[in-house]
Structures are given as C-alpha cells and as structure tokens.
Amino acid sequence: MSILSPKKIEIKENNLWHRENELAKMPVWQKLWHHAEILANANLYEMCDEPGRFEACHLKLDELIFDFSRQKINHETMGLFSELAELCGLKVAIDQMFSGEKINHTENRAVKHWLLRSPDADLPKAVLAERNKLFEIAEKIRVSEITDVVNLGIGGSDLGPVMVAEALKPYWDTDISVHFVSNIDPAALDDVLNKCRPESTLFIVSSKSFTTEETLENMTRAKQWLSECLNKPIQSEELNNCFYAVTAKSESAQKYHIHPDHILSIWDWVGGRYSVWSSIGLPLVILLGKNQFIEFLAGAHAVDTHFCNTPWHQNIPVMMALLGVWQNNFFEAHTQAVIPYSDRLKYFTNYLQQLDMESNGKSVDTQGRNIDYATGAVVWGGVGTNVQHAFFQLLHQSKLPIQLDFIMPILAEKSEHQSTQNKLIANGLGQLKAFVEGQSGNSKPANFMEGNKPSNVFFIKKLSPKNMGMLIACYEHKVFTQGVIWNLNSFDQPGVELGKKLAEGVLEAVTHNAKTDNLTAQAIQLLNSWVK
C-alpha cells in the first residue's frame, strides 16, 4: 500500500471549530501516541531505503517540491493524520477563514490576508482601489529623482518586506536604494542615514496602529535629520512631503502632518505578520515593479487554492503542519531548525520566527483552558553551508530531538555559476543523508553519530517572485493548520502587548522618577549614574 494512500478510517466530521473537546482526550490523539511508541524504534535508514519511498513521500506544486521521505511515517500514520485533521475541524476552519468569518475571536476580527493576493477580478472595490493606489505611488517614486527610500517599521512591518527584498535581489528593477530600519537603537537609523542623500530621500512609516513606539521615535529622528540637513523647519511642507505612511489609522498619520495622498491603508483583518501582501509591501513594489510584485502575489494565491481544495494527504501546508505536530507532540522535538541553502534567504528564519512563534506560542486554548501539551515550536536556524560549521555538530551528536526543515533552490542565479550551485546542493543533500544514516563509532567512539533523525526539505526550482510567494504562503497555512489542531487562536499576540504596556511605566521611571517595583528602581538608579 502506498504511503500516500492512507488506511481508510471511518471519520465523523467535526462541524465545530474553536471546539469544546480537549485535544489530549481525543481518541485519535491516543491512537497517535500508541502509533508513535511503535515507530520510535523504527530504523529510518531502512524506511528510506524502501523502493518507491521518494515517489510516495513528496508533493509537487508548480516549481516547489516538498519532500518528507525522511520522516518516521507509514500508511497508518497518514490515515491517523487525516483523521486528526478532520476531527479537529480543519475543513470547517479553512472554510470559515476564506469566507471572512471572524475567526480571530479574541479581537473580534476576520482573517483575510489571503484576499490581498487574489486576482483583481476577485477583489472588493475598496481593496482593488487600494492596490491600484499602491502601484501608482510606487511608480511615481520609481520614476522620480529619489535615490533612497527608508522603510521605518518593526515586526510585520519590517520582517516581511526586508526578507523578500533580500530574497529577490536579482529581480530588483530600479536604481533606488531601499533601506530598512526597525530597531529603536539610535545606531540602527544612524547607520542608514549615513548612506543617504537628504535632498533625495523618502521615508515610509509603516505602522498598522500608528502608535508603535519604535517606529514613531525613528520617524521623529528622521524628521530632525532632514530638518538639520536641508535647513528647513521640521513641520514645513517640503519636509512633510518626504514621508509616506502605511496604516490602518489614517487620521493618526495625518496628525503627524503626513498628507492624505501619501497615506496607504491596510485593514484590521490583516495581521502584521501576514501583511507583506498589502501596502506594507510598498518597498517591494518600488524595488520589483508592479508586474513582478503581481507574480509574487500570484504565487501565494496558487497555494491558497491548493490549500483549500486538496485532500489532506496531498496538501503541502497540511502535511507540513501534521509532521510538525507529530514531531513536537509525540517525539518531544520542541524546536525547529530552518536551514535555507541560499544566502538570499538569510532573513527567512527571522521572518518565520514571528510568523510561527507569535501565532502559536500560546498556553491557553480557544475555550480559555490551560493547555497541557506542547504548542508552537522554538524556530531558529541559519544559512547553509555556514551553519554546517556552527550548530550542525549539535544536530548530529546531541540527544536533543530537533525538527529540521531544509530549503534548497536548485538553479543558480547565473547559469555560469551552476557548477558551484551544485556543490551547495550536494552539501545540503549530504547533510540530509548523514542525518538518516549516522556514522559508526567502532574505531573511535567520539566519532559516533546515531543518525535516525527525521527531516523535511523544500526543493525550489529557483528563487523567483512567484516561487517566493508560494513558499511564504505554505508556511503561513502550516502555522494556521497547527493552530487549528492545537485549538489556538493563531491571530492575536497578547504576550507582545504586555511587554509594550509595561515599558511605558518603566520609561516614566527612567525619565521622571515615577514609582516602579524595587528591583527595577535599583537598576535604574545604577544606570542613571552612568548616564550622568
């Protein structure tokens, strides 16, 4: 029986999402525990050596291949995976998200970032008008005499654009230099401004709420820099025209003297970490041009269609999610190393950290109950082959179970570099082989490597705008699927908000001697002695 022909299991579909039944008490969860105990002692090398293993254990969508042949799974696992997805209400959850229901129940919001990558014909008039305004503003900037654009944003207003900009550098179609500043650390903005010509620099202030402290502080400092360099009043029209805003709070941006014609809108149904498809992508449209940005959107839309319409065992994001649950909850692999064999993807792991850990780093389910099972994994990693000379020692010989995702573009950017690209690919494939096979320590025990370590790999024909959109969307829907299985709201982030709220009180203590807790007060007293 093919591994991708799951064992038939009688399933009664669950028509409720945000379910009342507790995951750990579900019979299918108990069956997975028993099944995991059996496969824990399986020899991965022997499983991978089975005839037809790769053919049975990979999924292809256009120029993406998701290969999970190096996982400890069989046809029974696949059947249990499908049962779990059905009984957790995944089909209902997908239908609810794509029909615009308010599945972000804690904030009473719909989740419709997927709409932003739909074709023009499928867009509501307001969304289409905003997309057209985005393209018009970007083109106006592209044909101007602007030399530098500085994007001021943090979190989703920075991680998506900066990651995609670097990934698609060969597709840049402008002489404009685009810079990204997120940190409130003064050095971050200073280092960028030192590269810019003040008389031909524009700033994009990206903040959904237009209350983000780091972003507003950097905007204030940018205005001071322009005022001093151009010898113009800080609120002069000439200076204000150097600023654009992307926000859901247009009136707040206007209070900072940004002209309405320079303001692009996003909606409350677009989460920050899902906003690269929106006007938050303005820096990308400037760099890539309209047509290539549309290709980027089209790639993500292709994955949306695949995600909505494909059976679970052939569905790339769903399989990614189920394999992650399998390792996290049943094999105690609570961290995930993401290793792109592409220097262009140097920021991809940073992007996934917010996407995954801000979404599913939760300890309370949708019913308000404390969870007694592992949820979001700790995401980390780095670029191969660099990391082979760093943390791969731990990956190969440590007893820590770690989820492994490899990402491998196959074609070099320039055809004359393909032989070198082949060496890069060979390094990655060699590591995948080593994680399965290990190494005997017969002659020297210190050289023993157990092997038998599962992994996934994405093969990508090349890093094109369309393929980049597809890759990101696969991980987005993976995170959503895991949130459904773990019974979480993947679209709020109260842990982020708490730290920001407490920082306000600490700032008052630092600057105005406001009362705070004893420990913080003593630290401030010491630090103030340095400042003085």
Angstrom distance (rounded) from CA 292 to CA 290: 6
Q: Per-residue pLDDT averaged across 184-204, rounded? A: 98
Give the whole-angstrom CA distance, residue 432 versus residue 441. 19
Average pLDDT (239-261) is: 96
Whether residue 31 has pLDDT greater than 50 = yes
- Structural fold of domain 113-295: Rossmann fold (3.40.50)
Q: Of these residues, 358, 362, 476, 478, which one is catalytic?
A: 358
503-527 pLDDT, tens digit each = 778 888 888 888 888 888 888 888 8
Asked if 245 and 210 touch (Cβ cutoff 8 Å), the reply is yes
What confidence tens digit (pLDDT) does each residue in 306-355 have? 999 999 999 999 999 999 999 999 999 999 999 999 999 999 999 999 99
pLDDT for 442 beyond 90:
no
Helix (H) or strand (E) holding 38: helix 27-39
Neighbouring C-beta atoms of residue 415, cutoff 10 Å: 8
Nearest Cα residue to 411 out of 339, 474, 467, 348: 467
Helix axes 90-98, 465-485, angle to 10 degrees: 130
Residue type, 459: F
Residue 85's SS3 state is helix
What token pair was written down for 469? 């959109």
Tokens of 227: 């005022």
Rounded CA gap, 34 and 375, in Å? 20
Integer Cα distance of 58 and 314 in angstroms: 9
Task: Say whether 184 sits in a helix, a strand or coil.
Answer: coil
Q: Are 59 and 311 in contact (CB under 8 A)?
A: no
pLDDT of res. 14: 43
CA distances from 497 to 139, 212, 424 (A): 36, 11, 41
Per-residue pLDDT, 524: 85
Per-residue pLDDT at 8 exceeds 60 = no
More confident residue, 453 or 508: 453
Least trusted range by pLDDT, from 227-231, 398-402, 508-512, 519-523:
508-512
Q: Which residue has the tokens 């760093």?
A: 390
Cα of 36 vs its chain's centroid, Å:
29
More confident residue, 201 or 20: 201
Average pLDDT over residues 33-43: 96
Q: Report the pLDDT value the prediction gives residue 179, as an integer from 0 to 100.
A: 98
Which residue's structure tokens are 């050095």?
187
Output the CA–CA distances (angstroms, integers) from residue 407 to 95, 209, 262, 310, in the order listed: 29, 34, 38, 23
Spatial separation of the C-alpha atoms in residues 50 and 69, rounded to whole Å? 10
Strand-pairing partners, residue 244, are 204
**pLDDT of 499 above 90:** no
Pick the CATH number of 28-99+310-411+421-430+454-485 from 3.40.50.300, 1.10.8.50, 3.40.50.10490, 3.40.30.10: 3.40.50.10490
- Structure letter (DSSP) for residue 76: H
Between the alpha carbon of residue 11 and those of residues 77, 79, 82, 86, 319, the distances in Å are 15, 10, 9, 7, 18
Sequence letter at residue 216: L
Take residue 331 and report the two structure tokens written for it: 């094999």
Q: Any catalytic annotation for residue 259?
A: no
Distance between CA atoms of 292 and 171, rounded to whole angstroms? 8
Tens digit of each residue's pLDDT (9 = 90 or more) over 254-292: 999 999 999 999 999 999 999 999 999 999 999 999 999
Strand partners, 64: 61, 460
Strands (E), 62-115: 64-67
Spatial CA neighbour of 94 closest among 14, 26, 168: 14
Please pick, among 20, 195, 500, 508, the residue that the annotation labels catalytic. 500
Cβ count within 10 A of residue 96: 18
**Cβ atoms of 205 and 258 closer than 8 Å:** yes
What's the whole-model pTM score? 0.94
What number of other Cβ atoms are within 10 A of residue 298's Cβ? 16
Share of the chain above pLDDT 90, in %: 87
Length of the chain: 532
3-state secondary structure of 327: helix
Category of 433 on φ-ψ map: left (φ > 0), alpha (ψ -120 to 50) or beta: alpha
pLDDT (0 to 100) of residue 132? 98
Residue with token string 């399998």: 326
Res. 12: pLDDT tops 70 = no
Q: Is residue 500 among the annotated active site residues? A: yes
Distance CA 330, CA 69 (A): 18
Condensed to tens digits (0 to 9), the pLDDT of residues 40-98 reads 999 999 999 999 999 999 999 999 999 999 999 999 999 999 999 999 999 999 999 99
For residue 520, the one-letter residue type is: T
Active-site residue (options: 12, 125, 389, 501): 389
Query: What does the alpha-carbon distance between residue 163 and residue 168 come to, in Å, rounded to a whole number?
Result: 9
- Residue 125 a catalytic site member: no
Please state at what angle helix 27-39 crosses helix 316-330, rounded to 10 degrees: 80
d(CA 209, CA 72): 45
Residue 344's pLDDT is 98
